[in-house]
Amino acid sequence: MLVKNMRSLIHANFLFLAVLFSQFVFAQAIIPRAPDVAATSYILIDATTGHIIVEENADEPLPPASLTKIMTAYIAVEEILNGNLGLSDNVHISEKAWRMEGSKMFVGVDTQVSVEDLLRGIIIQSGNDASVAIAEHIAGSEDAFADMMNQYAEVLGMSSSFFMNASGLDTELYYNTMSARDLATLAEATIARHGDFYPMYAEREFTYNNIRQSNRNTLLFRDRNVDGMKTGWTDAAGFCLVASAERDGMRLISVVMGTASEEARAIETQKLLTYGFRYFETHKLYDADQVLASVPVYAGERDTVDIGIEQEVYITIPRGQGEAMTASVDVDQLIEAPIEDRQPMGVVNVMLEDELLFSGDVVSMHPVAEGGMLKRFVDWVSLMFNDSL
């Protein structure tokens, strides 16, 4: 049996075209501190990597007002994707839905409204009536739908959220709670899972029952990079906004909660988005099934095995620092056949200065069968006289 647990460090200068190594001197990226944001709680993340660029009180459970409706719409779309609901399905409007206060889609009592219209009423017009109508249609009652909301929150890992209604309206007795981090998680899941429906969040207006209403997300009218998502306001919540924007292949999600006015939530959100786009970038490290190295194999039908990464890998880095990263692959010094396809072989580490940006498994990209008796004997003799092992 060959010795298998000795370790060696293999420098991966083949990692990606932009990587140069530490024998060169690179300028340190200069990034100013994050902007001051006048909000009770906020967060800014890279939607592709999940990297948190800025956060403050991001785990504090707060009343989300109509940001609740992102979850309401999320569940409705999940029901569509699961085949339980259709865009053309008609929904009966109950008296409870029709009587809802606050922002409305202005549906009529005892009328039939399509699921597609209700979705737009929820997303664009922030209709409390539309939210209750879709909740009752899906779950039978708004209370039962709130149970679904809490179950979905648990599945998504939204640990600071609790729902008691589908609209986000506060009452004297209760209100929903969500954290900025949970809202970012929900927005990220919406964008990733509901690509065919997400463009609704960018629509600037919707007309129903001959009543035209503009999207309350004013950034849709100010910033061409912004394509969603949702506003909210109540006395308890203040003015809130979840926004998403894409520029040069980078998508950011920002959440601000508890700002002082409609204008303030737009201004504070714009601060976060500008900071993220100006000083950071989404960088692709690897393609799926990218080969990183070819390493020696002993006692095999082949003398080498290709090792690499199975999945695409993206990271968030300071803008312009792609060439300053270094990479190394740590594998067994002695690798013995047989080797299975996709067998774990070691770890790749990517560094920027002294910061570990990524650490992931490397696997064999193909199998290597055990060699014949003569091949195994030749390799054994070779090892006996190899002083470096």
Distances 111 to 108, 130, 191, 210 between C-alpha atoms, Å = 6, 12, 32, 15
HSE value, Cβ hemisphere, 13 Å, CA-based, for 46 = 23
Q: Which residue has tokens 């997400």?
A: 198
Let me know: does 40 contact 239? Beta carbons within 8 Å: no
Dihedral of the CA atoms 328, 333, 337, 339 (nearest 10)?
-30
Q: Are 43 and 254 in contact (CB under 8 A)?
A: yes
CB atoms within 10 A of CB 137: 22
Q: Which of 89, 71, 68, 92 is nearest to 80 (CA)?
A: 89
Select which of 41, 94, 103, 126 is catalytic. Answer: 126
Residues whose CB is less than 8 angstroms from the CB of residue 279 and which lie 6 or more positions away in sequence, other chains included: 31, 32, 318, 319
Catalytic, out of 41, 69, 271, 364: 69
* Catalytic status, residue 284: no
Angle at 28 between CA 20 and CA 30, to 5 degrees: 135
214 is catalytic: no
Q: Residue 27 carries which side chain, given as an amino acid letter?
A: A
Nearest to 54 by CA among 236, 369, 273: 273
Q: Distances in Å between the alpha carbon of 25 and those of 6, 95, 379?
A: 32, 70, 41
Residue 69 among the catalytic residues: yes
Contact, 132 vs 142, CB < 8 A?
A: yes
Strands 250-259 and 41-46, by their bridges, are: antiparallel
d(CA 151, CA 147): 6
Q: Show contacts of 139-142: CB within 8 Å, 24+ apart.
A: 142/96, 142/166
Q: Active-site residue numbers? A: 66, 69, 126
